Structure 1
Amino acid sequence: MIERILLPTDFSHVSMKVVDCVKDLKDVGVKEVVLLHVLDLNKILSPTSGVDLPAVIESYEKESMEKLKEIGKKLEGYGFNVEIVEVLEGDPVFKIIDVAEEKNVDMIVIGSHGKGLIKELLLGSVSEGVVRRSNKPVLVVKFDIIDDAVIKVFDYLPRKILYAFDFSEESRKLKDFVKEFAKAGEEVLIVHVVEKDEELTDKEIEELENMKKEFEEMGKKAEIFIEGGVPYKEIIRVMEDHGATMIALASRGKGSIREMLGGTVSNVVRRSIVPVLVYK
């Protein structure tokens, strides 16, 4: 069950768009939202001499708490119970991960923007850092950026789920999470990418067919796609060609060398313009 989520916000346009999208998760079973803002001193302070640092921090924290309360009221209006964590100082990635563990949430929901942006591809982001290091499932709500406008390209988050399946144990465990989302949706696209020199066995094909039947027995439309090529490229292509409203895939371990160098999960998170659920 997905009942309790952590929603970090930096009050940016993207973060505020995420708040609007969280209402879709009520249909998935989410009941409680833990709100968090992390004060990153490196981003709010300039190296100007004579700054009264304690006063600046106190003012910023007070302003941030007021904004969190406003967001909390909006979420309560959607029917969620809301817990607001006091404004924390430090590295956003590590603070988000710490609070997720402390509050024992079922999932972290965080915003990210664009595809192919220099910041995303070269410098990384808070969302990617959380995906890489967290032990909790992470839902990265993605938006496209067109002429500085934040564009939501999906209508209803769980409507059409692309379930990337690679026969790993992590990928199999993800199925139960996908089912929670599928309860509120209409269709599941089961995607397996055949890499070079790989051939599916009869047993593997049977597993895919049985999975399809499981979703159909839930009253959902389900379709299997067996594609050849680079996994992240094929996942993104199927998402675009078939109008998936979110992607779900499993991580093979936090902080792995493969992921740090640009594995399937990292590349999908960077390039997708629809939300990506990374299961841990």
Structure 2
Amino acid sequence: MELRRIVVCVDFSAITPKVLDWAGEEAKRFGAKVELVHVLEETMPRLAQEMLDLHTLYDKLKEVTVKKLDELKEEIEGKFGIEAETKILNGEPFDAILDYLEETKPDLVVVGAHGKKGVRRILLGSVSEKVARKSPVNVVIIKH
């Protein structure tokens, strides 16, 4: 399998460094480009929407996200000597990621699994598991 472009889904959780290390090693080995992707969720309870200036809140959240993604980009480029880009998607994580993969057709997508168990996993599902089941491209899941 030839890898030219690897999409790496990051949520800034404790698993992120492990996901970046795996993707960075593979990108270096294959000479692939890495795209760091984060999803900004737009859902908020109706009452909160009415009480808050959502544009200001969203702008601040996006500003912080851009900064964090840029830091991860610099880190992975410096550590592995590879080329990386960043992309912010909007919406529900699973839907936004799946739409993006269908639209851009990378060679591989890498996601982290948080290891949720029991009722929480049954009720919420796992974004990484859903991506693995529905993705139009190959998926690697990095366990916590």
Answer whether TM exceeds 0.5 for this pair.
yes
Tell me which residue corresponds to 1:79.
81
User: Is the contact made by 2:28 and 2:82 (CA closer than 8 Å) also made in structure 1?
Assistant: no
Q: How far apart in 1 are the matches of 2:40 and 2:137?
A: 22
Q: Deviations over 1:84-133 (max 9, x none)?
A: 12x22112112112222333310110000227454334531111111121
Counterparts of 1:23-34 in structure 2, within 5 Å, are: 23-26=24-27, 28-34=29-35
Structure number with higher relative contact order (C-alpha < 8 Å, ≥ 6 residues apart): 2
Alpha-carbon contact 1:6-1:33 (below 8 Å) kept: yes
* Separation in 2, partners of 1:72, 1:10: 14
Q: Give the counterpart letter for 2:32 in structure 1.
A: K
* Equivalence for 1:35: 36
SS at match of 1:141: strand
The aligned residue for residue 101 of structure 2 is: 100
Structure with a larger share of its residues in helix: 2
CA positional deviation for 1:25? 1.3
Give unpaired runs (5+ residues) of structure 1: 144-280
Q: 1:13 is paired with a residue of what secondary structure?
A: coil
1:48-67 CA distance string (max 9 Å, x none): 34200111111101110111
Q: Is the 8 A contact 1:18 1:141 kept in 2?
A: yes
What amino acid does structure 1 have at the position aligned with 2:7?
Answer: L
Match status 1:119 vs 2:128: no
Does the aligned pair in 2 maintain the 1:5–1:30 contact within 8 Å?
no
Contact 2:27/2:33, CA 8 A, preserved across alignment? no
- Calculate the TM-score normalised by the size of structure 1: 0.46
Q: Partners of 1:115 and 1:57 in 2: how far apart? A: 28
Specify the SS of the correspondent of 1:41.
Answer: coil
In percent, how many aligned pairs have the same letter?
Answer: 34
**Which segment drifts farther, 88-97 or 15-24?**
15-24
Deviation, 1:30, is 4.8
1:127-276 alignment runs, 5 A limit: 127-143=128-144
**What TM-score do you get using the length of structure 2 for normalisation?**
0.84
**Aligned-partner Cα distance in 2 for 1:29–1:7:** 15
